[in-house]
Amino acid sequence: MPKTHSPIMLTPIKQPDIYPGIPGVVLNDQTIQERLYKIFHGMVRHNLDALIVYADKEHGGNFEYLTGFIPRFEEGLLVLHKSGEAVLVLGNENLKLAQHSRVPAKVVHAPWFSLPNQPMDTTFSLSEVLQQAGLHQQQRVGIAGWKLFTGTHSNNTPMFDIPTFIFQAIQTALSASACELLNATSLFISPRDGARTINNANEIAHYEYGANLASSAMLTALNAVELGKSEKTIAALLAAEGQPNNVVTIAATGDRFENANLYPSDKQIQKGDKFSLTVSYKGGLTSRAAYVVNHADELPAEVQDYLDVVAIPYYRAVVSWLEHMRVGVKGHEVYELIERVLPKAEYHWHLNPGHLVADEEWLCSPVYPSSDIPLSSGMLLQIDIIPSRKGYAGASIEDTIALADEPLRQQIATQYPELWQRIQNRRAYIRDVLHLHLHDDVLPLSNTVGYLRPWLLNKSSALVRSL
């Protein structure tokens, strides 16, 4: 049974294993068909005649969920009709990708989506192009951007997060039919019933690649932290296998954001610095924050109690989070748990203590004060509790887990035995070295789940629960 009140201590332990060089897992055709079915089922549920899915480089996840690609440096639209027809609306340099779409689709050309001063060779307006994509007689059309707009809005007026020039063209294309436009992003990312919140075995294997990649790179970078090295030197170790990041990589020593800079710089690591590291790929982010010292005596006197004031209370909250996770837990229960063990008034966290991940680092979150949403088998969750105590460095061990009931666990073990062995190895480390007790539903996808070094120059010691 979990030893909820057992002391947390800093002690020498072995590091977790990492798995460099594992092959990625491609989403298979059956998964794509399941995804398409879920979206069409959502369209029926919301009585939509058509669904317009917006994408650009930063906000391409819903589009990519079906097509397999994003429109890179241009905008793009995927138009789904209730008849089953799919149409891609693409700019100059993404037309060639239409033939590779995982969902077969017609394509129409919208040069307005292209880069500045590229050819605009067309006699049609954008609204006429959208009519070519089949938007002209519908009564009820959904638009999926990337925000849910879950707050309270005056008059319940729908809000849309797509460029004005595209929204106005949609209105013009549909003006003859007095069409009702709805924000339909929830079909994809509602934490209650969004298609993208639940993953099958193939999807979990696909996303574990990124979680493993990020956590392996993180441990490599942590082991390289030394006085005099630059942020860039450490950040280079976070860049892994040429894969695109889905957040800005952080390697920041001392005070962050000097001269409004977000990126790793030439600043050199000094003893006593606060230090932050974050790297994220599709399927998983790993983040760490601590001090560049060997032990507390090397810190200024006013923060030498960092372990007791910040790191250990934070670690206890993460342990509570990990050990509470299982299929069926309600979102509000997770929120209330963290409020009990790490009171917001004292530790000043203000975001959701846990959220879902996918191609994006933050998909959505079922964890908020009033949430009656049950955590479901197939969800990918990121530990995301961010304490803040004035004058002290932060503490962070953000990583990724999956929730899987017995049938899903059996599917993963059967279809992806090497992945299953990595998961079992991670669970064994968490149990036998860190002395934490995970429910059978919890599958660590990151190698560093539960592993926190508060002193970055002491590479042999980490926090654990005492036996």
Please write the tens of the pLDDT for every residue from 177-220: 889 999 999 999 999 999 999 999 999 999 999 999 999 999 99
Structure tokens at 279: 């790297």
pLDDT-derived band at 5, boundaries 50, 70, 90: low
Tens-digit pLDDT profile for residues 17-34:
999 999 999 999 999 999
The token pair at 461 is 């010691």
Q: What is the pLDDT of residue 155?
A: 54
Residue in the structure block whose two tokens are 């929120």: 335
Which strand ranges, in their side-by-side order, compose the sheet holding 106-109?
106-109, 86-90, 76-81, 50-55, 140-144, 180-183
* Percent of the chain scoring above 90 in pLDDT: 93
Mean pLDDT across 331-340: 98
Strand partners, 250: 278
Reported confidence tier of residue 1, pLDDT bands at 50, 70, 90: very low
What are the structural domains, with CATH classification, of the chain? 8-25+196-465 (3.90.230.10), 47-183 (3.40.350.10)
Q: What is the pLDDT of residues 400-422, one digit of tens each?
A: 999 999 999 999 999 999 999 99
Residue 298 has pLDDT above 70, yes or no: yes
- Name the phi and psi angles at 289, rounded to 5: -145, 135
Whole-number pLDDT of residue 154: 46
With a cut of 50, say whether residue 2 has pLDDT above it: no
DSSP letter (8 states) at residue 310 = I
Q: What's residue 372's pLDDT?
A: 97
Assess whether pLDDT exceeds 70 at residue 291: yes
Q: Return all residues near 162 (Cβ < 8 A) that are at least 6 apart.
A: 54, 143, 145
* pLDDT level of residue 176 (50, 70, 90 thresholds): confident
| HEC sequence for 17-46 | CCCCCCCCCCCCHHHHHHHHHHHHHHHHHC
pLDDT for the residue 258: 85
Encode pLDDT of 233-279 as tens digits.
999 999 999 999 999 999 999 988 888 889 999 999 999 999 999 99
Largest CA distance in the chain: 75
pLDDT per residue over 266-278, tens digit each? 999 999 999 999 9
- Under DSSP, the state recorded for 210 is H
